[in-house]
Amino acid sequence: MKEKNPWYTPLTIIITVIGVIAIVALVTVAVLQNRPLLQKYKYGIVLDAGSSHTALYIYQWPAEKDNNTGRVEQKHSCKVTGKGISSYAAQPEKAGMSLTECMQEAEMVVPAKRHSETPLYLGATAGMRLLNIENRSASDQVFQAVEKALQSFPFSYQGARILSGQEEGAFGWVTVNYLDDRLKQGLETTGALDLGGASTQISFVSHDYDISESPSNSMTFRLYGNDYNLYTHSFLCYGKDQVLRMALAKQTQLGPSTILDPCFHPGYTTTRNYSSLYDSPCVSGRRPREAPTNFSHKGEGNFTKCQEVVKSLFNTTACKYSKCSFNGVFQPPLQGPFGAFSAYYYVMNFLNLTDTSIHLETVKNNLASYCATPWNQIKQMHLSNVKEKYLAEYCFSGTYILTLLTEGYNFTKETYSNIKFIKKIKGSDAGWTLGYMLNLTNMIPAEAPDSPPLPHAGYVSIVTVIAVLLFILLILSLRPVWPRCSKQPQIV
Ligand SMILES: Nc1nc2c(ncn2[C@@H]2O[C@H](COP(=O)(O)OP(=O)(O)O)[C@@H](O)[C@H]2O)c(=O)[nH]1
């Protein structure tokens, strides 16, 4: 005779089956919901039309998260061959044509089905600011040519314009702090130091900044629920190419046929043309009356003398505010860490001087011995992998950077270590372009977006655990109808 299992009552069997099905269903949902999905992206393109060259940046962000929660990152960059668009003043159509190769690259990088919805912006900086001052109609023609070229591509063209120096500084600051996740988390922000070819920008948040003292230097933002009162200033003509013109102008005021320049290596010699040197609004007013066509530019390699030449380009005496940087420009006390990018990085990286924990005096001594190195030796060491134009100018540029930071912005030997020379942050280039796009696409919300209290996986796990517990409780609550195990086994 077979014994009947007390658990084999119809009620307990039904409850067990339903319970098991429910748990299996919940676990399946949890697993499926957390399976990595094939990520879909949206894209944005920004062209940085700088004074020395144009660069194209493609940004991407998760398609389902463009409501301000997905992270925007740089997907691709392309350096336009040739000079900046402002150099095409005499043949504007070539400015448009110069962008073709990079634009075609963008067509390949952005998936075809996203082309028509991908915004395309062009922002021009100090090179075009100067051309606009010098020759308004030439600047307009360059823009017309550029617009025509960009409109021929299948993207959503959003316009080309000259950024103000203030915008350039502020968007650089937004980029750095966005990439560092400082804005979303409401952390102390990093100041931004940008050195271009024709202008240079300084932007930082200072708690001691009284806007009323110089309202034109202030930009206010509300980002992710936090208010920022940003100090920013752009010095036109103080980018490293224009400041070199000013330094050469200083040394050629009497129209000599030869100059011995302390900012170039001993043994360096080249012939320069007076007309080309003075062909910029930054120096055009100072052209010597009587000068030969050319002058011979020879190097001396003396850092101390070079620093004197560079210092003479800063007016540090006139200041109608409580505190100034230089040329009578208001600047509140420096505050917090700073990221220095663009030419700051190119130059200091080449000179092996990016480590700011090294004492400022040691940095200066190292630069002094680099400047004193004969030009032949420098060429032998580096000419195979560095353009001669850049190579010849590193002594000048390094001296300018140290002088700008200390004599110009008032960094001291103590605060110098607050500066970090950077090129990229988490794979994206530091510069104004990302901040510009984030602003124009409203991708940084004024208020912090609401986020669910639990991540999805946590939510599903908790529901599963609760379901299992409820099931066990149900089984236990059915105890009264459980068959008694102690009873005599039933005879079937
Ligand atoms: N040494 C060096 N200098 C560079 C490089 N790329 C650009 N520069 C110079 O750095 C300065 C700033 O360049 P960039 O950031 O492109 O500024 P912009 O052209 O004024 O917008 C200019 O004087 C450029 O000639 C590079 O790869 N190496």
Q: What is the pLDDT of residues 231-284, one digit of tens each?
A: 999 999 999 999 999 999 999 999 999 999 999 999 999 999 999 999 999 999
The CATH number for 166-433, chosen from 3.30.420.150, 1.20.120.160, 3.90.209.20, 3.40.50.300, is 3.30.420.150
Q: CB of 124 closer than 6 A to ligand 1?
A: no
CA 121, CA 63: separation in Å to the nearest integer?
20
Which amino acid appears at position 208 of this protein?
D
Residue 201 labeled ligand binder: yes
Residue 28 Rama label (left phi>0; alpha psi -120 to 50; beta): alpha
Ligand 1 centre and the CA of 41: distance in Å?
31
Q: Which of 195, 346, 391 to mutate to test the pocket of ligand 1 (most atoms within 8 A of CB)?
A: 346
Residue 327 Rama label (left phi>0; alpha psi -120 to 50; beta): left
CA 233, CA 174: separation in Å to the nearest integer?
15
Locate 78 and state its tokens. 């392309």
* Minimal-distance CA residue to ligand 1 atom 11: 197
CB within 8 Å of 157: residues ≥ 6 apart: 120, 147, 150, 151
CA 264, CA 128: separation in Å to the nearest integer?
28
- Mark whether 388 is an active-site residue: no
- 4 vs 178: which has the higher pLDDT: 178
Q: Is 205 helix (H, G, I), strand (E, B) or coil?
A: strand
State the chain's maximal CA–CA distance in angstroms. 129
Residue 199 labeled ligand binder: yes
What confidence score (pLDDT) does residue 214 get? 96
Ligand 1 centre and the CA of 239: distance in Å?
9
Q: What is the pLDDT of residues 461-491, one digit of tens each?
A: 776 777 677 767 777 776 666 665 544 444 4
What confidence score (pLDDT) does residue 70 get? 77
- 202 vs 29: which has the higher pLDDT: 202
Q: Is 258 helix (H, G, I), strand (E, B) or coil?
A: strand
Instruction: State the CB neighbour count (10 A cutoff) for residue 486.
Output: 5
Residue with tokens 């190292």: 366
Q: Which of 390, 432, 433 to mutate to test the pocket of ligand 1 (most atoms within 8 A of CB)?
A: 390
Atom of ligand 1 nearest to the CA of 53: 19
What confidence score (pLDDT) does residue 486 get? 47
Locate 145 and state its tokens. 């040519």
Note the pTM of the prediction, 2 decimals. Answer: 0.88
CA 300, CA 161: separation in Å to the nearest integer?
42
Residue 81 labeled ligand binder: no
What confidence score (pLDDT) does residue 8 get? 64
pLDDT average, residue stretch 209-215: 93
Q: CB of 50 closer than 6 A to ligand 1?
A: yes
CA dihedral defined by 377, 378, 380, 384, rounded to 10 degrees?
180
Alpha carbon distances (Å) from 231 to 129, 132, 201, 332: 21, 26, 11, 8
Residue with tokens 């994206």: 428
Q: CB of 302 closer than 6 A to ligand 1?
A: no
Q: CB of 184 closer than 6 A to ligand 1?
A: no
Ligand 1 centre and the CA of 12: distance in Å?
78
Sign of dihedral through CA atoms 236, 241, 243, 247? Answer: negative
Alpha carbons within 13 angstroms on the beta-carbon side of residue 184 total 16
Q: CB of 299 closer than 6 A to ligand 1?
A: no
Q: What is the pLDDT of residues 402-449, one digit of tens each?
A: 999 999 999 999 999 999 999 999 999 999 999 999 999 999 999 987
Contacts 24+ apart (CB under 8 A), 388-392: 390/346, 390/350, 392/264, 392/265, 392/268, 392/270
Atom of ligand 1 nearest to the CA of 240: 23
Q: What is the pLDDT of residues 334-372, one digit of tens each?
A: 999 999 999 999 999 999 999 999 999 999 999 999 999
Residue 275 labeled ligand binder: no
Q: Beta partners for 191?
A: 338
Q: CB of 197 closer than 6 A to ligand 1?
A: yes
CA 463, CA 139: separation in Å to the nearest integer?
64
* Minimal-distance CA residue to ligand 1 atom 7: 343
What confidence score (pLDDT) does residue 4 get? 55
- Assembly ipTM: 0.97
Ligand 1 centre and the CA of 132: distance in Å?
21
CB within 8 Å of 255: residues ≥ 6 apart: 274, 288, 289, 290, 291, 292
Q: Beta partners for 469?
A: none
Q: What percent of the chain has pLDDT over 70?
A: 88
Q: Pick the closest to residue 115 from 39, 58, 31 (CA basis).
A: 58
Please check whether residue 199 is in contact with residue 234, taking contact to mean a CB–CB distance below 8 angstroms. Answer: yes
Q: Pick the closest to residue 206 from 23, 52, 402, 337 (CA basis).
A: 337
Locate 464 and state its tokens. 């599963």
* Minimal-distance CA residue to ligand 1 atom 2: 346
Atom of ligand 1 nearest to the CA of 198: 20
Q: What is the pLDDT of residues 4-52, one digit of tens each?
A: 565 567 777 777 777 777 777 766 766 666 655 567 999 999 999 999 9
Please check whether residue 402 is in contact with residue 365, taking contact to mean a CB–CB distance below 8 angstroms. Answer: no
Ligand 1 centre and the CA of 247: distance in Å?
18
User: Rounded mean pLDDT of the chain?
Assistant: 92
The pLDDT-based confidence of 64 (bands split at 50, 70, 90) is confident
Q: CB of 119 closer than 6 A to ligand 1?
A: no
CB within 8 Å of 387: residues ≥ 6 apart: none
Ligand 1 centre and the CA of 417: distance in Å?
24
**pLDDT at 122 exceeding the cut of 60:** yes
**pLDDT at 451 exceeding the cut of 90:** no
DSSP H stretches of helix in 266-386: 274-277, 303-311, 343-350, 360-372, 375-382
Q: Which of 64, 107, 167, 168 is catalytic?
A: 168
**pLDDT at 82 exceeding the cut of 90:** yes
| Domain ranges (residues) in the chain | 10-35+453-481, 166-433
What confidence score (pLDDT) does residue 454 get? 63
Residue with tokens 């079937």: 492
What confidence score (pLDDT) does residue 215 get? 96
